């Protein structure tokens, strides 16, 4: 066998291997599918809501819906079935005026959650790359880059 070129999730999160049957299982399958993603998203939002910097964004949000959308989106990012029917990330986030710093905190909570759950390093790398690729959709385009 030769080195696998592991860059399944390249940009935007919607890239999926052709059918997953032959060579490698998807990240989604490797971490245990729907149940694992649901558990991860549950823990992720527990962390987000416990973060005083972030909780206010969600004060008027239906968290049940929110978790459901995030489960479906993370499923796609991990190469699972695409049933995401929510709004695009820019549409959902641009009105919220999110600065870079808050984006970084949310990203860290997600990566910390997945790390704690024992998600393998190559999957974490791909999630990290996806976070980088969606940053501009989530962070307010009015906020200055860097600081």
> In the complex, which residues of this chain contact ligand HEM (CB under 6 A)?
54, 57-58, 61, 66, 69-70, 73, 86-87, 92-93, 96, 98, 102-103, 106-107, 131, 134, 138
Nearer to ligand HEM, 58 or 122 (CB): 58
**Is 69 labelled as part of a ligand binding site?**
yes
Nearer to ligand HEM, 9 or 73 (CB): 73
Report the nearest approach of ligand HEM to the CB of residue 5 (Å): 25
Q: Are 66 and 57 in contact (CB under 8 A)?
A: no
Torsion of CA 144, 132, 96, 109, to 10 degrees: -120
Three-state SS for 123? helix
Torsion of CA 20, 118, 131, 26, to 10 degrees: 0
Q: Which residues are annotated as a binding site for heme?
A: 69, 93
């Amino acid at each position: 066998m030769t080195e696998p070129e592991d860059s399944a999730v390249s940009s935007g999160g919607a890239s999926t291997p052709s059918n997953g049957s032959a060579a490698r299982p998807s990240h989604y399958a490797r971490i245990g599918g729907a149940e694992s993603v649901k558990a991860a998203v549950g823990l992720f939002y527990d962390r987000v809501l416990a973060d005083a910097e972030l909780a206010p964004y969600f004060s008027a949000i239906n968290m049940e819906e929110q978790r459901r959308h995030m489960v479906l989106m993370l499923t796609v990012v991990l190469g699972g079935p695409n049933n995401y029917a929510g709004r695009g990330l820019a549409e959902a986030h641009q009105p919220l005026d999110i600065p870079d710093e808050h984006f970084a905190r949310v990203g860290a909570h997600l990566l910390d959650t997945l790390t704690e759950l024992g998600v393998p390093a190559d999957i974490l790398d791909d999630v990290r790359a996806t976070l980088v690729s969606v940053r501009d959709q989530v962070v307010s385009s009015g906020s200055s880059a860097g600081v």
